[in-house]
Amino acid sequence: MKRREELDKYHDLSEEELKAETARLKESLFRLKFKLALGEADAVKRIREEKKSLARLQTITRQRRPQAS
């Protein structure tokens, strides 16, 4: 998925959906780290992508916090 499309998708999510997606990405990263330890070569690329997506979600969450107060 292109970065702009991903950002648009995340901006449209509600607060609860953002939390659920964040939890899903954290679980996915946890599992990918095990795959990396077992020597799967494609795990490195997916870990990098998942980390970036997680960082984008956390940034959006932080941006919304001051607006809610």
pLDDT in tens, 12-67: 889 999 999 999 999 999 999 988 888 877 888 899 999 999 999 999 999 888 76
Write down the residue that tokens 């070569």 correspond to. 41
Domain boundary assignment for the chain: 3-63
**pLDDT the model gives residue 41:** 73
Residues 6+ apart with CB under 8 A from 26: 54
DSSP string, the chain: --HHHHHHHHHTS-HHHHHHHHHHHHHHHHHHHHHHHHT-TTHHHHHHHHHHHHHHHHHHHHHHHHHH-
- CATH class label, 3-63: mainly alpha
**pLDDT the model gives residue 69:** 56
**pLDDT the model gives residue 7:** 85
